[in-house]
Amino acid sequence: MRSSPPSQPSMDRPGAGPWLLVLVGFAALAVSFSVRAVLGLAMPVIETELGWSRSLLSGIGALALLIMACAAPFAGRIIDDSGPRMLLTGGLVAIAIGAGLVSVASSLALFVLGFGIVAAVGFTAVGTNIVAAAIAKSFEAGRGLATGIGTSGATAGQLLVVPAVAILMQTASWRYGFAALAALALVLAACAFVLLPGRRPATASGALAPSRGSLLGEIGALGRLPAFHVLFWSFLICGFTTTGVIETHLLPYAAFCGFPPLPSATAYGVLSAVNLGGMVLAGFLTDRLHRPTLLGAIYLIRALSFILLASIGPDIRLLYVFAVLFGLVDYSTIPVTVGLAASHFGVRRLGLAMGLISSGHALGGALGALAGGLLFDAGGSYGLLWFGAFGLSTLAGLVVFLLRDQPSEPGRSSEPVLAARAGEATS
């Protein structure tokens, strides 16, 4: 084991600091994803109270995704240069302001400003890619497991926070739900500011991040690496088949199949519960298995789950089987993708790399949501959507098998290559 200066914890046994980041990241993602989920939960009530259409409210959600796609590389650059403290703190404050604006909005303009713009900036700063990159920079041993635990907060919020908000909305008003989330985000912002270190981040090996080239130069350098394209396009398909297809269209599909709302919502809850365990399991396996094979297998299992979904017919038991199978591989791509990105691009530029890759995920999500609506309106069923998702997931799995599994910490070898290519792009 490599020796460490007395002032730094051994990397094989991370000290309290890195695990504190995991805890804060977990909680921040739980709040961020809860605010995003509550919009869908409150849609029917908002439609009735304010007279807005579902397509209009869905469009506000799509606007938020578009802003997240555009802003993610910049947030990634910030995490590389300045660390997670100000980014997570500022993101939580933005979410609090956005949710607060939504809670008092009676005009469309204020609602769009609150959720579609201000909160969307916060969602970008408190995203799985940001938390994952920050954690990966702080760990060498156990990086996959720590990343899986930290990013599983995205699912934990749907299990713990959203039901509590739903009760508040049912007993009082949808506005109180958003107001409560705004208050919770503010409390968490204060915790993040106090608990997270404010100094310029060091890599897991203790070296300070080197001087940077231009943002466009570094993006161009990453864009010339085949591994970047494999991870970017596979993660775009990931967004299409999860955020876009399942999160948007699973419950409408269950209603289309004739299943009552409560059993359908329960099945979605089962999916979320298994999802949390799947992320932690994937992180654990990331540290121990050949990562391209693991990631490819996740996409192929996801592909098979869409065949099952297309065949559930009137049997609601098959919906629960799908929920378990898909839940295992829903967000489990995140720790494996982050681990591969750290290996191929180096931890010092991991934030920017994951920001770009996550832009693809957001774009894929928007395309999946749109495609589902268009295909259903055109054909009156979801069959083409499920088989399309099957084909894309299969393609992602096969493409990922082309990657090499580099050592867990190749930052010293990959950084000079990226720096040279960034310099070529700006000269």
Output 234 or 11, whichever has higher pLDDT: 234
Q: Mean pLDDT in the chain?
A: 86
Output 4 or 36, whichever has higher pLDDT: 36
CATH (residue range 214-427): 1.20.1250.20
The reply to whether 214-427 shares the fold of 17-199 is yes
- Kindly tell me if the per-residue pLDDT of 203 is higher than 80: no
- Kindly tell me if the per-residue pLDDT of 167 is higher than 70: yes
pLDDT tens digit sequence for 105-136: 999 999 999 999 999 999 999 999 999 999 99
Domain positions in the chain are 17-199, 214-427
pLDDT tens digit sequence for 32-50: 999 988 887 788 788 889 9
Output 98 or 165, whichever has higher pLDDT: 98
CATH entry 3.30.110.30 includes domain 17-199: no
pLDDT at 221: 92
pLDDT at 4: 41
3-state secondary structure the chain: CCCCCCCCCCCCCCCHHHHHHHHHHHHHHHHHHHHHHHHHHHHHHHHHHHCCCHHHHHHHHHHHHHHHHHHHHHHHHHHHHHCHHHHHHHHHHHHHHHHHHHHHCCCHHHHHHHHHHHHHHHHHHCCHHHHHHHHHHHCCCCHHHHHHHHHCHHHHHHHHHHHHHHHHHHHCCHHHHHHHHHHHHHHHHHHHHHHCCCCCCECCCCCECCCCCCHHHHHHHHHCCHHHHHHHHHHHHHHHHHHHCHHHHHHHHHHHCCCCHHHHHHHHHHHHHHHHHHHHHHHHHHCCCCHHHHHHHHHHHHHHHHHHHHCCCCCHHHHHHHHHHHHHHCCCHHHHHHHHHHHHHCHHHHHHHHHHHHHHHHHHHHHHHHHHHHHHHHHCCCHHHHHHHHHHHHHHHHHHCCCCCCCCCCHHHHHHHHHHHHHHHHC
pLDDT tens digit sequence for 238-271: 999 998 899 888 888 888 898 887 788 788 889 9
